[in-house]
Structure 1
Amino acid sequence: MNMNSYKIDFINNTMTITNTFERAANNPYSEEYKLVQKIRSDFPTMQFVRKTSTAAKRPNPFKGLTYAAMERYILSKGNDDLMREFEMVREHSAIAPNPYLMVRNWFVHWFPEYMGQRNEGRELHIKTYEAA
């Protein structure tokens, strides 16, 4: 029996259990079942609560992709036309609901290899922005 599979809170009169503990407690020959029976006999009003698991977080593939990082990458390519276009997109993005998103999508469109270097094996979910 894992000690992290349950937690007893005497102040709130609750016992928080995991799904694994609950499944094991359904077996009358298990240690978990015996513990539940003991708790119920000692504390008849104790409430049992299932522990909710937190959703697994996906790493953000765009972490660190700032305007400065975009500028450095464009300058490293030595293409002045793309740098001017980048600056123009930044200026025009000021009226967009999410200016960064518009610039980021432009950058990812023109430099997919940058994202490929940083996020090998991860699928990118790019949200597009259409100008009205």
Structure 2
Amino acid sequence: MNSYKINFINNTMTITKTFERAANNPYSEEYKLVQKIRADFPTMQFVRKASPAAERPNPFKGLTYAAMERYILCEGSSELMSEFEKVRERSAIAPNPYLLVRNWFVQRFPEYMEQRNEGQELHIKTYEAA
């Protein structure tokens, strides 16, 4: 188990939270190891390994161009669809075209994100090609 890592160049010993807890017990192997390291390297610094950041779900997951189009079609306005197409065309020169379109969509249709965040089922009609 990788519960510690010694870096002699930086004079540090990186330890996990589990190792740190075990090292607090004077009868544990971890405690004995820490005592030996301190005796051999009195200036050694102990650093706790950072825990991985808690993953947050992506609120925009599944918000594709196709999903945006379906939602706009559900609104039933050809003006909204032409506006969407213009934004999409103009965003082509941007470093991240999707980001511009997504931001426009979220600003233009805030109720879409509210429904998603509340876990409500989005009522989007699907249109089949004839």
Instruction: Please indicate the TM-score interval, normalised by the length of the shorter structure.
Output: 0.5 to 0.7
Residue 116 of structure 1 and its aligned partner are, at CA, apart by 0.8
Whether 1:105 aligns to 2:103 is: yes
Q: TM-score, normalised on structure 1?
A: 0.62
Whether 1:74 aligns to 2:72 is: yes
Q: CA separation of 1:35/1:49 partners in 2, compared to 1, >3 Å: closer, same or farther?
A: farther
Q: CA separation of 1:79/1:110 partners in 2, compared to 1, >3 Å: closer, same or farther?
A: same
Q: Distance in 1 between matches of 2:31 and 2:52?
A: 28
Q: Distance in 2 between matches of 1:70 and 1:82?
A: 11
Paired AA for residue 86 in structure 1 = F
Q: Distance in 2 between matches of 1:39 and 1:61?
A: 45
Partner of 2:30 in structure 1? Answer: 36
Partner of 2:90 in structure 1? Answer: 92
Q: TM-score, normalised on structure 2?
A: 0.63
Partner of 1:19 in structure 2? Answer: 17
Q: Distance in 2 between matches of 1:114 and 1:107?
A: 9
For these two proteins, the number of residue pairs brought into alignment is 107
Q: CA separation of 1:37/1:27 partners in 2, compared to 1, >3 Å: closer, same or farther?
A: closer
Whether 1:59 aligns to 2:43 is: no
Structure 1 residue ranges, 4+ long, deviating more than 3 angstroms after superposition = 37-40, 48-52
Paired AA for residue 19 in structure 1 = K
Which blocks of at least 5 consecutive residues in structure 2 are unaligned?
5-13, 35-39, 41-45, 120-130
Check the 8 A contact 2:17/2:48 in 1, yes or no. Answer: yes
